[in-house]
Amino acid sequence: MKVTIVTANGETVLNAATGSNLLSLLQSNAFFVDADCGGRGTCGKCKVKLLEGNTSAPLDEGGFFNCCKHTVDGDITIDLNDNTAGAFSAATAIAPHRIKARQGYGLAVDIGTTSIAVYLVDLSNGKPLDSAAQLNRQISFGADVISRINASSGDGLTLMQQSVRTQISAMSEELLRKHNIKEFEKTIIAGNNTMLHLYLGKDPSGMGQAQAVIFSSLNENQIYEEARKLILEMLRKEIPKLPPS
Ligand code: FES
């Protein structure tokens, strides 16, 4: 079956198996859909507009339906342009991290459950020069930490890790481009424990239990190793630092 998705960037045609869930299909192909309840059909946020084809999900007067309630059973064309929450206003500044004065620029990243903020920092004085913030696209998997933990089973963990890494890379590359800077000398990534687990691709399910097992408390060398791998994809000079959350 063909699922055609219209966004501001044009049309994308996906081949979908009969019986696929439309929200899952969009998530696994990196389309952002606001889905606070993680696809349980209770939040009403995952509306997309039907342009062509049919849906068994209830249609509202404007021709919108909740994509988590649609099972692919025929060709369909949808418009995603109205399911964008837009840019989030700049988050509060990250508390200054102790750094030695040096020449060059640093990147500070704050992974919030709701929003992600990136800061360009002048390493000579530790002051932020610019920042940007966006809604955390993992919202497609649930609005809160518990929903994300629940969504991390199966492919969810990989998909959420890809989501946050891709988003941070795009946001930081934009800072580099905007300021005509070649690279960051230092990178610091902060977030709550769940966000850091998802960033590292580590199973966060232990944190949903009474005796939480937290990856970051297990082995500092493991964290170092994980961060070392990330440097390869993030093209930073130094290994990103993940301060304790
Ligand atoms: S109603 Fe919440 S994701 Fe669809």
Phi, psi torsion values for 85, nearest 5 degrees: -80, -10
- Give the number of the atom of ligand 1 that is nearest the alpha carbon of residue 46: 4
Q: Measured between alpha carbons, how far is 122 from 144 in angstroms, rounded to an integer? A: 33
Do 80 and 12 form a contact (C-beta atoms < 8 A)? no
Q: Could you give all domains of the chain from N- to C-terminal order, each with its CATH number?
A: 2-79 (3.10.20.30), 105-234 (3.30.420.480)
Please report which confidence band the pLDDT of residue 86 belongs to, taking 50, 70 and 90 as the band edges: very low
Q: Measured between alpha carbons, how far is 239 from 25 in angstroms, rounded to an integer? A: 34
Q: Which amino acid is at 44?
A: G
Concatenating the DSSP letter of every residue in 45-86 gives --EEEEEES--SSPP-TTSEEEGGG-B--S-EEEE-TT----
The token pair that represents 81 in the structure block: 């342009």
Q: What is the pLDDT of residues 130-151, one digit of tens each?
A: 888 889 999 999 988 889 999 9
CB contact set of 95 (below 8 Å; sequence gap of 6+): none
Q: Which amino acid is at 144?
A: D
Q: What is the pLDDT of residues 148-186, one digit of tens each?
A: 999 998 899 999 999 999 999 999 999 999 999 988 888
Does residue 61 surpass a pLDDT of 80?
yes
Query: Does ligand 1 lie within 6 Å of residue 34's CB atom?
Result: no
Q: What is the pLDDT of residues 18-39, one digit of tens each?
A: 999 999 898 787 777 877 787 8
Q: Which amino acid is at 10?
A: G
Res 241: pLDDT: 63
Measure 26 CA to ligand 1 centroid, in angstroms.
Answer: 13
Query: Does ligand 1 lie within 6 Å of residue 24's CB atom?
Result: no
Query: Does ligand 1 lie within 6 Å of residue 207's CB atom?
Result: no
Query: Does ligand 1 lie within 6 Å of residue 26's CB atom?
Result: no
Q: Could you identify the residue written with the tokens 């030695």?
A: 100
Query: Does ligand 1 lie within 6 Å of residue 104's CB atom?
Result: no
Q: Label residues 73-86 b or e (16+ Cβ within 10 Å = b).
A: eeebbbbbeebeee
The reported pTM is 0.61
**C-alpha angle with apex 24: 82 to 35, nearest 5 degrees?**
45
Q: Measured between alpha carbons, how far is 15 from 33 in angstroms, rounded to an integer? A: 19
Q: What is the pLDDT of residues 229-243, one digit of tens each?
A: 554 455 455 556 666
Kindly state the helix (H) or strand (E) to which residue 134 belongs, with its residue range. strand 127-135
Measure 137 CA to ligand 1 centroid, in angstroms.
Answer: 15
